[in-house]
Amino acid sequence: MTTGRTAGHGPLAGVRVVELAGIGPGPFAGMLLADLGADVVRVDRPGGSALAIDPAHDVTNRNKRSVIVDLKAPDGPARVLDLAARADVLIEGNRPGVAERLGVGPGDCHARNPRLVYGRMTGWGQDGPLAHRAGHDVSYIAVTGALGMIGTPDRPPPVPANLLGDYAGGSLYLVVGVLAALHHARVNGTGQVVDAAIVDGTAHLSAMIHGMLSAGGWQDRRAANLLDGGCPYYGTYETADGGYMAVGALEPQFYDAFVDLLGLEDLREARTDWTRWGELREAVAARFRSRTRDEWTARFEGSDACVAPVLSLREAPHHPHLAARGTFTDHGGITQPAPAPRFSATPTAVRTGPARPGADTPEVARDWDIPELVTDRVKTPAETAAGTPAEAHATTIETTPAPTAATASVTPSVTTPVTTSATTPVKDFPHRGD
């Protein structure tokens, strides 16, 4: 594994990752790796993404560093290949074939670094009839059957933000694949391509449901099953003030505590009698509508009834349990989820705020020993907006070659002064997050 020269925190400290900037699941996967301690360098394009938010608030770019490379400029691909040659992992989210056309596909990168793990994040995958078609989270989860399981039968399936497809079926599977391939590369000395498709990951998430369907324990329709809102003691209910309570009292002992605290002891036997589920649902709904959300929260406090208030994004950080665990943190004035999971020996943290496009170019050039990143530097968005020539920011930096797995024992330490400039024209290239 490449040993990075930048101090890190977390179990992936020393792992180097190149992220070709995109939207959605790719940046989130990069954030996960960065949160775990990897040195993630995001290669931003001139002009940014059409769907990007203000870079100062893009939490998915925290703990990363950024350089700007125009992949359509003559020397653009060479700069990315220089990064790939020194990296352990590269992740990209273009449509199949785009990276190859730009000269930074797996073949080009592996020619420079055979140990590289090349992670590809797409919606439809690298092959198949839809591989080259556009799509987004909702498109992908729709064809996997996952979207069709959500909601009530009398209304269209509700969209679960982009959490289910982009991040659960996409980012998490890309990271699992990358880490597995990284382990293989360390053991066997060879890298490989990881084809992470949102349709594959989302379908995989439904493995248990497919098993239940095969066994006759799941009906292939919405709100008719134990875990999809069909069961009256596994769902959500409105309260007197327009809030909601979530109920998950599946097991007998939890159900008994639930109906006791609701004052519905006479409906204990309805748990296993599905012919009475309509009666049970109406009674539970009527009881929840009799008090406010906060009153019901207090009522169920300290019990094992598996009942919790449904909180908003702004309310969640103040929940007593989440506050006690530090599930959310504040960095640079932005309240955000803290890195997860937690490690006893190699703790993680939000070390830096969102990387600003191109702001870390001199440091990356020094730490990764790629002085050309600076001499070929494209202006940052701030410089472009101010009308400031990149040459006006010329800086002399010292670059010390960082050892890679292949050169750590033979590369001498040398110091080279580099004067920065940027003459590369700003062009666009096709990035897409999913």
Answer yes or no: are the C-beta atoms of 63 and 350 closer than 8 Å: yes
Answer yes or no: are the C-beta atoms of 140 and 1 closer than 8 Å: no
What gap in Å lies between CA 164 and CA 42, rounded to an integer? 24
What gap in Å lies between CA 205 and CA 169, rounded to an integer? 7
Answer yes or no: are the C-beta atoms of 360 and 59 closer than 8 Å: no
Which residues lie below 8 Å from residue 17, measured CB to CB, with a gap of 6+?
Answer: 30, 33, 34, 38, 39, 40, 41, 87, 88, 89, 90, 91
The CA-atom distances, in angstroms, between 262 and each of 200, 218, 284 are: 42, 29, 8
Closest CA to 174 of 125, 110, 105: 125
Candidates 39, 137, 166, 200; catalytic one: 166
Alpha helices in 215-357 (DSSP H): 252-262, 277-288, 293-300, 320-325
Closest CA to 365 of 407, 408, 397: 397
Q: What DSSP state is assigned to residue 119? A: E
Residue 186, SS3 per DSSP: helix
Q: Give the type of residue at 135.
A: G
Closest CA to 125 of 143, 103, 151, 101: 143
Q: Give the type of residue at 281.
A: R
Sign (positive/negative) of CA torsion 348, 349, 351, 356? positive
Active site residue 136: yes
Answer yes or no: are the C-beta atoms of 381 and 54 closer than 8 Å: no
What gap in Å lies between CA 336 and CA 265, rounded to an integer? 41
| Beta pairing, strands 234-238 & 192-197 | unpaired
Answer yes or no: are the C-beta atoms of 68 and 46 closer than 8 Å: yes
- Residue 272 phi, psi (nearest 5): -100, 5
Candidates 136, 137, 360, 376; catalytic one: 136
Does residue 145 come out as left (phi exceeding 0), alpha (psi in the -120 to 50 range) or beta? left
Q: Give the type of residue at 344.
A: S
What gap in Å lies between CA 175 and CA 411, rounded to an integer? 31
Q: Which sequence positions are flagged as catalytic? A: 136, 166
